[in-house]
């Protein structure tokens, strides 16, 4: 198994940095701050377009949410096509629908084309409905995507029971365009092929200052290194700090906690997700799950806002697992880890360019594998061409959330409230 499952509470092995800083020659085309999926996808495609690229990550590649997420590769956005068209207008809305439909393809295409060594299964994703309201919403989503030729299907109660082996669902929605990957392998492999394509990737290089000079950006690191580049891309998402004033206040970072069981015995493995699909449910505080490549059951959900201090902080995930699969009550939980995701108030990614050549992307909304892979590819095209039409979302001004300091307190209270409501709907 990849390193994500090497310890009971995840940590990357303490080895020498795999990606050392090398002094670049002269003026760079772009410096990318953040070595997650967004930053590495941008770097790979920008290098393929002939740009000189340096990626700087404050920690180790894969140690953020890009290597720690649920591994679900889901096309689409939180909103359905008809909403996007109403909100953005016909031309941009249709373009955005087409982009959203393509995000999973980008992931599996790059795995194939770049020959990434990444465990994956592309048998679809199930959005499981536990109430009649959720089932009605699934039917509406199914109608809209089927009208656009997507390979999707509405599931009834017997259908979802057969596909998941879980109890408690009234039906759901199957999107066969989706799949699952090992996220740590994917992130590390993106770094490898980006380096092979000519991009330079460096770990343990925290950027502390950006300064604008005539036609050039000067980038300073905590270690005293200074670089010069025509453009800078901030791809720090939920780990955004004060480097660009106001940006961190536009998002609400949340922790996503995950558990993995011991490898399931053959008889149980045959009855749990027999087709290998990923699942997310319709609860207010949803849980998501999949089977890992070594036969473990992997389940995640929102966790406490503070950093975890003991295995008890994952107890809500263990309860959810047994609620769905009572037969797994005797299977040991061997691995626990967490990552940080970023939400925006409108549940859409935000793209900013407050000054020429200074770009930022935040807000993956928990769908970062496909979304950030595809956004990185589009960002690289924008950097190479200067054509803003290559960006699927409009560039918007940085607008900090009012009373941001109190927002996480409110979110924590809302999570507790929603979790209680979900309990009444079991």
Q: Is residue 399 part of a domain?
A: no
Quick one: what percent of the chain has pLDDT higher than 90? 76
| Strand ranges in 20-138 using DSSP code E only, listed in sequence order | 28-33, 53-56, 72-73, 120-121, 125-129
Q: What does the pLDDT read at residue 303?
A: 78
Can you point out the beta strands (E) in 292-332? 297-302
Q: Does 365 map to a domain?
A: yes
Tell me the per-residue pLDDT of 29-52, one tens digit each, with 9 for 90 and over.
999 999 999 999 999 999 999 999
Cα–Cα distance, 87 to 37 (Å, whole number): 28
In a domain, 11, yes or no: yes
CA 104 – CA 152 distance, rounded (Å): 14
By three-state DSSP, how is residue 357 classified? Answer: coil
Is the pLDDT assigned to residue 413 strictly greater than 50?
no
Tell me if 421 is assigned to some domain: no
Residue with tokens 């935000």: 350
Q: Which of 106, 42, 38, 99 has its CA nearest to residue 73? A: 106
How far is the C-alpha of 222 from the C-alpha of 215, rounded, in Å? Answer: 24
Q: Is residue 398 one of the residues assigned to a domain?
A: no
Average pLDDT for the chain: 89
- Paired strand residues for 302: 256
**Same domain, yes or no: 138 and 276:** no
CB distance 76 to 125 below 8 Å: no
> How is 11-43 classified by DSSP, letter by letter?
-------SS------S-EEEEEE--SHHHHHHH
Residue 304 scores a pLDDT above 80:
no
Whether residue 311 sits in one domain with residue 292: yes
pLDDT at 403: 61
Question: 156 and 91: one domain?
Answer: no
Residues 276 and 245 in one domain: yes
Identify the pLDDT of residue 18: 73
DSSP β-bridge partners for residue 24: none
pLDDT of 281-294, one tens digit each? 987 678 999 998 88
What value, to the nearest 5°, has the Cα angle with vertex 423 and ends 422 and 424?
Answer: 90
Per-residue pLDDT tens digits for 109-118: 999 999 999 9
Residue 324 structural domain: 3-124+177-390
User: Which ranges of 272-367 does DSSP label H, i.e. alpha helix?
Assistant: 315-324
What's the whole-number mean pLDDT along residues 136-165? 97
pLDDT of residue 335: 93
Tell me the Cα Rg of the chain: 21
d(CA 422, CA 424): 5
Coil, helix or strand for 180? Answer: strand
> How many Cα atoms sit within 13 Å of 305 on the Cβ side?
13
DSSP state of 395: B
Q: What is the pLDDT of residue 12?
A: 42
Number of domains the chain is built from: 2
For residue 340, what is the domain's CATH number?
3.50.50.60
Are residues 120 and 171 part of one domain? no
Tell me which DSSP letter residue 307 carries: P
220, 355: one domain: yes
Q: Among 274, 295, 328, 332, which Cα is nearest to 1's?
A: 295
Q: Kind and range of the H or E element at 215?
A: none
pLDDT, one tens digit per residue, over 163-222 is 999 989 999 999 999 999 999 999 999 999 999 999 999 999 999 999 999 989 999 999
| Residue 348 near residue 250, CB atoms below 8 Å | no
Strand partners, 174: 126, 153
pTM of the predicted model as reported, rounded to 2 decimal places: 0.91
229 and 144 inside one domain: no
Residues 140 and 114 reside in one and the same domain: no
Residue 407 in any domain: the answer is: no
What pLDDT does 283 receive?
79
Residues 148 and 207 placed together within one structural domain of the fold: no
Are the C-beta atoms of residues 130 and 124 closer than 8 Å to each other? Answer: no
Helix ranges (H only) for 154-297 are 157-164, 183-196, 266-271
Instruction: Say yes or no: 168 and 185 in one domain.
Output: no
Based on the domain organization, do 217 and 288 belong to the same domain? yes
* Domain-located, residue 82: yes
132: Cα separation from own chain's centroid? 28
Tokens for 327, please give them.
Answer: 């037969």
- Burial code of 383-397, b = ≥16 C-beta within 10 A, e = fewer? bbeeeeeebbbeeee
Residues 26 and 152 in one domain: no
Residue 161 belongs to some domain of the structure = yes
């Amino acid at each position: 198994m990849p390193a994500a499952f090497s310890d009971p509470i995840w940590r990357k092995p303490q080895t020498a940095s795999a990606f050392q800083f090398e002094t670049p020659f002269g003026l760079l085309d772009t410096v990318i701050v953040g070595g997650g999926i967004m930053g590495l996808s941008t770097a790979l495609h920008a290098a393929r377009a002939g740009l000189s690229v340096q990626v700087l990550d404050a920690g180790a590649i894969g140690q953020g949410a890009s290597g720690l997420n649920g591994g679900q590769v889901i096309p689409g956005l939180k909103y359905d096509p008809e909403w996007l068209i109403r909100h953005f207008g016909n031309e941009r809305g249709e373009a955005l629908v087409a982009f959203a439909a393509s995000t999973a393809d980008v992931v599996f295409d790059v795995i194939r084309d770049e020959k990434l060594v990444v465990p994956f299964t592309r048998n679809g994703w199930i959005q499981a409905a536990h109430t009649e309201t959720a089932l009605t919403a699934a039917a509406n989503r199914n109608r809209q995507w089927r009208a656009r030729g997507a390979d999707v299907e509405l599931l009834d109660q017997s259908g979802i029971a057969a596909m998941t082996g879980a109890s408690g669902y009234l039906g759901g929605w199957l999107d066969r365009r989706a799949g699952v990957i090992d996220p740590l392998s994917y992130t590390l492999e993106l770094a490898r092929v980006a380096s092979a394509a000519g991009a330079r990737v460096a770990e343990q290089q925290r950027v502390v200052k950006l300064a604008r000079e005539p036609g050039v950006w000067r980038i300073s690191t905590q270690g005293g290194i200074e670089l010069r580049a025509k453009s800078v891309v901030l791809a720090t998402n939920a780990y955004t700090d004060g480097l660009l004033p106001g940006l961190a206040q536009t998002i609400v970072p949340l922790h996503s906690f995950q558990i993995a069981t011991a490898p399931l015995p053959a008889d149980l493995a045959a009855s749990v997700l027999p087709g290998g699909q990923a699942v997310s449910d319709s609860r207010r505080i949803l849980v998501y799950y999949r089977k890992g490549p070594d036969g473990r059951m992997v389940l995640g959900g929102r966790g406490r806002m503070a950093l975890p201090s003991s295995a008890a902080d994952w107890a809500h995930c263990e309860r959810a697992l047994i609620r769905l699969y009572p037969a797994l009550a005797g299977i040991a939980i061997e691995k626990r880890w967490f990552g940080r995701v970023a939400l925006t108030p409108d549940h859409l990614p935000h793209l900013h360019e407050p000054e020429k050549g200074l770009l930022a992307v935040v807000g993956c909304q928990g769908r970062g594998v496909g979304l950030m892979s595809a956004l990185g590819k589009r960002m690289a095209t924008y950097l190479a061409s200067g054509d803003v039409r290559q960006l699927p979302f409009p560039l918007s001004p940085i607008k900090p959330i009012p009373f941001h300091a109190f927002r996480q307190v409110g979110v924590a209270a809302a999570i507790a409230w929603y979790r209680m409501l979900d309990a009444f709907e079991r």
